[in-house]
Structure 1
Amino acid sequence: MDGYTAKKSTSFETLVIQNITNVNELKAKLSGIILAGEDYQYDVSDSMKVLLTSTDQDIVQLSIEAIAELVKCEQKRDSYANKSIIGPILDILRKETVSDNIEMVKQCCRALGNLCCDCDTSRRLIVSLEGIPLLVKLLERSIDMRLDEIQTLASKTLLNFAIGGAEFTDIIFQAGIVDMVQRMLSIELKKDDFDDDTLSTCLLILSVINDNTPELLYSEMVNKTILQVLRDSLNMEISELCLDHLHSQAEHESVKTLIAKEGGVQLVCSRLEELVSRHTAGELNAADTEVEALMKQACELVIIVLTGDEAMHILYNKGVSEVYQTVVKWLDSPNHQLLTTAVLAIGNFARQDDYCTHMMEDKIFDKLLDIFEVYNNFSIQIQKEPEKKHPIDPITVIKLLHAVLSSLRNLAVPVANKRVAAAQGRAAPLLLNALPTTEDHHVAYKLLATIRLLDVAKLLASEPVALATVARWGHAAEYAGAAGEAPRLLAWAVDGCISSLVNMLVASHSLMQNEAILALTLLAIESLKKLSPDSQTEFDYEKSFVEQLIKSEIGKHVTILIDTNCAKMPVEVAENLLAFLDITSKSNKLALDYKDAKVHECLMKFSDSRTDLTTDMKSCIFGVFSSITNNGKND
């Protein structure tokens, strides 16, 4: 009933408008519709189609203004997304822009812009009626004639059109919108007072195009212009848009180099310091979240530029550049965003060996260890009291620990730096002690890699708890990074840890036995894998691994383990032991050692005495028995 009444009322309203013969009354009616705007409850699109063909230009202009207001209502927009409405509006814009029709042109732009808002029907109609080249030409004309209001309205219309997606951004790109945006920005930069509305519209157009075409590389002139806008504007919204643009474009190596050469990173660093200072002093009106978001964006831009090889060299400049000196200073910053950025920046500078050596001499390595120690302690406190409110949130702690370890790892690559770190004697104990308390797999991955590169495997071998932790991470298949790094660390530890692991097999606790088995299994997988003929280093690992196992009397220890735990060995321990024996018994030298120690006979007794072994486990026992019997022969 209500729907019928509404429909009837709309039809009646349309009839009323169509039957107004007095021009002044019609103007008054249209003015009333404009005043009501999106709250006007009737659909009078059919009336508007007729009024757009009027010979009275005032009526046409008022009708277009009414349409611009009416289609602000999303529910009404589809009714006006019609060729009979959009076509006449575009026809008006095809005429020459003169002083007498400037207001008409403004209303046409407003109507088209509002029609394009979240409406693909309107967008496609504009395309089919060849409206985009027309709007770009209008924009160019408004720039030439310095018709600032039309320029703003035309650019906003094109922005609303572009927001529709790649289909539409490609059309305005091909029509030459970027050149127009470049001109508008350049004109603004020459003014004493910027029009922030124009700047933000221009930057949003570039942003929407870039979002829909991520691989797009804008011209050097465009990117230089954006950098200059960032330099000259203090508006936070404009700064954020500039940073967003530069961040997207910095995916290209050439733009990283451009930003570095043009002083962009120095600019961002100084802005960051100013932002932190003013925010701390309470001088900013913006919400904390807005400031944090802007800082995050700026910090990310600094780091992404530093990932460029040429940019990194430019910004290091023998360790005397303003950027390098700034990030070194930030290593003492209480602001976590600046501190994290500084640590990540050091890691990027540390991609060059001679830079690493210089930074080691400058005690940067020591500074990073200080940071690691502080935040690792924070991490331990958070783990102990997860419900308590801590001075720093867990996500920030993890991010900082990950960043610090990445930088320590890079600094530890040169052999000379390894020697310095070993001589100082601080890094190895600090990192090894952190292993058992590290819970985040991203941090664990970097920690394992850093320990490996510091060449402290022999120290690792003397730390059963740390060894057990490495084994645990190596068994964590769901975390590929840490699980892959653990056996690599164990492989480097061959000379130092085998005897310790083998001795752990006869420990009094099944948990330690299991950790030793897991560690040895991971090491076996890494050391006994099939290798390429020219992989001499890997071959040395295999040879050393086998020799160390035999020297540690692996067969004897396995026999003792089985004999003394025949009845009480947990099934999961037995399963892991069988996996280890299955891998290692395929080596003839190890099979011979197992045979001498009667491992195969112990296994058969174990199999006969247990009723809880699965079919797969019993099958594995027979396989190992066969390998020992057949392979364990003297050549």
Structure 2
Amino acid sequence: MCIFTEELTASLEKLRVASENPSPEPLDELINYIHQQEDSTTVCEELVAGGVLPLIAGSINSSSVEAQGKGAELVAELAKVESCRLGCVTSGLVPILVEKMSSTTTGVALQACRALGNICYEHDGGRVSVMESGGAAQLLHLLQRAASLPNTPDDHQLRLVATGFLLNLLNSYDTVQDQSMEAELVDVLCQYLDKFAEDEDIPTHVLLSLTCMADTEVGRGLVVSRDITPQLVRVLKINESAEVTETCLELVTNLAETECVKTQLAVGGVCEAVVEVVRRHRNNPASDLSPPIIKTATDLIVLILVGDESMGIIYGDGSGSVYQELVGWLTSDLEDLQIAGALAMGNFARSDAHCIKMVESGIADKLLKVLSSHNSGEGDIRLQHAILSALRNLSIARQNKPVLVQQGALEVLLPMATAIQTFPVVFKLLATLRMIIDGQTEAAVKVGSNNEVVERLVVWCGTMDHPGVQGESSRLLAWTIKNCGENTDVITALINAGCVPPLVLMLGSEHAVMVNEAALALVLVFSSVVDPEVVEKTKLPQVATYVLNNPNLPPEIVANVLSMLTAIAGKDTGIECLKKDELKTAIDALTAHANEQVKTLSTALKEKL
């Protein structure tokens, strides 16, 4: 039941009496009454329940421009209350308000926009009604017209309200249902960013509206094809509002998920503009938003560098301004910048040509120096992970490996093997060590001679908590054996530390490359003096049988597995453990293999068994 105050009842009665000849006064009284309330929710609900909406509709439809404006303004106030929005739709106000958006009187168009924007706020029913009433087309026309109006306070407010209405209309709504209209809309929004880039609120509305469009397949295609890079760069360069900057960065990040956009952004100078944003907020923090802005900005640059073409553009043959700035971030006192710098170096190091030039210019040395301060259990995990990713990529190029060793990579990395417990970091660490020791005998001997490291590797070979760490530990053991120059002391130490069982398990891997690595390492192991008990404690015959029965393995790998078994069979003490019926059958089947090397090895092995 509605309980009206005397003043409210009087104003509502005036509105009823004036319904045949609408006047703005009773509408204005109701608006003022709502404004005077600390919490206007109840009053608005009572007005709607008391039948005010049909009366307002009459005022908006009247010939009085003042009544039209005040009627629309009253709807805007009522629609601020969530429970009143549906009534605004069911009472037929939406088509009337849509029509009034075309009014040449700025005040009427503005209040109609306000009312519709509020009706649509977090209200799908309102959005649907606006779309069905042709509101999207009317709003587009209004935005086009308002863009060319003078920069008076009223015209500025109209642009602000119209862009706000657009945002509420697009938010969570799939499409404006007309692709040609959406294309026009993108053009208009770009025009707004060009003309009003320095404003605080209009760019925010426009950027968020573009984000809403980019969240739909059709809208994203239109935004991407239009290439709004120049407008985004302009906003980032000249708008000093932290809120606008953050919103712009978030839109660019959204768009940069599309591969071709990464190239657009790199060519269009977005990275340069983002670097300037970082510099601005680092040197003169504008607000509490500065740290998250720096984080979003640095993440965005790293995302753009994920693209091969965009990465090459930014690298600029090692002399690109953004590249040079990112190198400088490695020694920044801000961790977010250090991490972003390291991640960026890892992306730049995706090509051998870049890797070689980067190491020659001292990038690996810089990374190692930073990591040396973070190579304990107390080091920053994100920074450790980022630097190790970069070092791994830099160490892939063959000619970089001895340089990294000379620069003290092992002295920095090996202590981490016994200090770090975080598996994602351990995974990167093991992969980096594996790359560095490839072809580097002294480095491999150094790894294999470090008892603490080897013990930790053997433990990790058995972990079930991180398959990646389990696999990389086994691979590092295999690569250490392969690259240690057949150093008997190292191989013996590895055997005594328990490396044989993990290598046997690795032999049964589903990945052919790991099968091959394990076979080659075991050839070297079994060519040395091996206690038969070491073999007997593994499931080598069963694993070898499984591998040899795999029809999908390349013949070169099968040959290496046979060579490994031959190495064991060459030992009087080792041959007995191979005399298993299933293994003999598998070897016998290979004597008819099409590959000559497999046939020869299997035939010789069959005779020994």
Q: Same fold (TM over 0.5)?
A: yes
Q: Offset at 1:90? A: 1.8
Q: Is the contact between residue 140 and residue 185 of structure 2 (CA under 8 Å) also seen in structure 1?
A: yes
Q: Is the contact between residue 13 and residue 44 of structure 1 (CA under 8 Å) also seen in structure 2?
A: no
Match of 2:519 in 1: 542
Q: Offset at 1:66? A: 1.0
CA 1:433–1:20 in 2, change beyond 3 Å: closer, same or farther? Answer: same
Q: Is the contact between residue 420 and residue 426 of structure 2 (CA under 8 Å) also seen in structure 1?
A: yes
CA 1:440–1:499 in 2, change beyond 3 Å: closer, same or farther? Answer: farther
Match of 2:270 in 1: 264
Match of 2:257 in 1: 251
| Deviation string, structure 1 residues 319-363 (Cα, Å, up to 9, x no partner) | 233223222222221111121122222222222323322222222
Q: Is the contact between residue 527 and residue 545 of structure 1 (CA under 8 Å) also seen in structure 2?
A: no
Q: How many residues align?
A: 549
Question: Mapping of 1:223-302 within 5 angstroms?
Answer: 223-279=229-285, 284=286, 286-287=287-288, 290-302=289-301
Counterpart of 1:526 (choices 506, 509, 515) is 506
Distance in 1, matches of 2:312 and 2:305, equals: 9
Question: Mapping of 1:484-499 within 5 angstroms?
Answer: 484-495=471-482, 496=484
Q: Is the contact between residue 491 and residue 526 of structure 1 (CA under 8 Å) also seen in structure 2?
A: no
The answer to whether 1:453 aligns with 2:435 is yes
Matched residue type, 1:116? C
Match of 2:310 in 1: 311
Match of 1:415 in 2: 398
Distance in 1, matches of 2:56 and 2:535, equals: 97
Match of 1:404 in 2: 387
CA 1:106–1:547 in 2, change beyond 3 Å: closer, same or farther? Answer: closer
Match of 1:555 in 2: 532
Q: Offset at 1:451? A: 0.4
Counterpart of 1:468 (choices 450, 455, 458) is 455
CA 1:628–1:590 in 2, change beyond 3 Å: closer, same or farther? Answer: farther
Q: Is the contact between residue 372 and residue 404 of structure 1 (CA under 8 Å) also seen in structure 2?
A: yes
CA 1:64–1:266 in 2, change beyond 3 Å: closer, same or farther? Answer: closer
Matched residue type, 2:233? L
| Deviation string, structure 1 residues 578-601 (Cα, Å, up to 9, x no partner) | 54564257775477579845976x
Distance in 2, matches of 1:156 and 1:483, equals: 54
Distance in 1, matches of 2:540 and 2:243, equals: 60
**Alignment RMSD, CA only?**
3.7
Question: Mapping of 1:563-578 within 5 angstroms?
Answer: 577-578=537-538
Q: Offset at 1:60? A: 3.8
Distance in 2, matches of 1:17 and 1:299, equals: 60
Distance in 2, matches of 1:120 and 1:530, equals: 51
CA 1:345–1:277 in 2, change beyond 3 Å: closer, same or farther? Answer: same
Counterpart of 1:208 (choices 212, 215, 227) is 212
Q: Secondary structure at the match of 1:375?
A: coil
Q: Offset at 1:483? A: 2.7
Match of 2:344 in 1: 345
Distance in 2, matches of 1:205 and 1:12, equals: 41
Deviates more, 1:353-362 or 1:624-633: 624-633
Match of 2:54 in 1: 49
Matched residue type, 1:439? Q
Q: Is the contact between residue 526 and residue 568 of structure 2 (CA under 8 Å) also seen in structure 1?
A: no
Q: Is the contact between residue 365 and residue 407 of structure 2 (CA under 8 Å) also seen in structure 1?
A: no
CA 1:417–1:504 in 2, change beyond 3 Å: closer, same or farther? Answer: closer
Q: Offset at 1:480? A: 3.4
Q: TM-score, normalised by structure 2?
A: 0.79
Q: Offset at 1:21? A: 4.8
Deviates more, 1:547-556 or 1:357-366: 547-556
Deviates more, 1:50-59 or 1:75-84: 50-59
CA 1:526–1:333 in 2, change beyond 3 Å: closer, same or farther? Answer: same
The answer to whether 1:156 aligns with 2:143 is no
Q: Offset at 1:123? A: 0.7
Distance in 2, matches of 1:310 and 1:22, equals: 67
Q: Is the contact between residue 236 and residue 277 of structure 2 (CA under 8 Å) also seen in structure 1?
A: no
The answer to whether 1:69 aligns with 2:29 is no
Q: Is the contact between residue 595 and residue 628 of structure 1 (CA under 8 Å) also seen in structure 2?
A: no
Question: Mapping of 1:114-129 within 5 angstroms?
Answer: 114-129=118-133
Q: Is the contact between residue 592 and residue 628 of structure 1 (CA under 8 Å) also seen in structure 2?
A: no
Question: Mapping of 1:612-631 within 5 angstroms?
Answer: none
The answer to whether 1:432 aligns with 2:409 is no
Q: Offset at 1:469? A: 2.1
Q: Is the contact between residue 82 and residue 125 of structure 1 (CA under 8 Å) also seen in structure 2?
A: no
Distance in 1, matches of 2:296 and 2:342, equals: 16
Distance in 1, matches of 2:511 and 2:53, equals: 79
Match of 2:469 in 1: 482
CA 1:589–1:155 in 2, change beyond 3 Å: closer, same or farther? Answer: same
Q: Offset at 1:59? A: 3.5
CA 1:491–1:232 in 2, change beyond 3 Å: closer, same or farther? Answer: same
Q: TM-score, normalised by structure 1?
A: 0.76
CA 1:172–1:15 in 2, change beyond 3 Å: closer, same or farther? Answer: farther
Match of 1:612 in 2: none
Q: Is the contact between residue 235 and residue 248 of structure 2 (CA under 8 Å) also seen in structure 1?
A: yes
Matched residue type, 1:583? V
Distance in 1, matches of 2:374 and 2:177, equals: 46
Match of 2:190 in 1: 182
| Deviation string, structure 1 residues 268-326 (Cα, Å, up to 9, x no partner) | 223322321223xxxx3x12xx1111000111122122223233333333323322322
Matched residue type, 1:210? A
Q: Offset at 1:157? A: 0.8
The answer to whether 1:31 aligns with 2:11 is no
Distance in 2, matches of 1:181 and 1:540, equals: 58
Deviates more, 1:203-212 or 1:14-23: 14-23
CA 1:255–1:277 in 2, change beyond 3 Å: closer, same or farther? Answer: same
Distance in 1, matches of 2:108 and 2:347, equals: 56
Distance in 1, matches of 2:539 and 2:10, equals: 84
Match of 2:358 in 1: 359
Counterpart of 2:110 (choices 106, 117, 120) is 106
Distance in 1, matches of 2:263 and 2:18, equals: 68
Question: Mapping of 1:157-172 within 5 angstroms?
Answer: 157-167=165-175
Identical aligned pairs, as a percentage? 25
Q: Is the contact between residue 265 and residue 302 of structure 1 (CA under 8 Å) also seen in structure 2?
A: yes
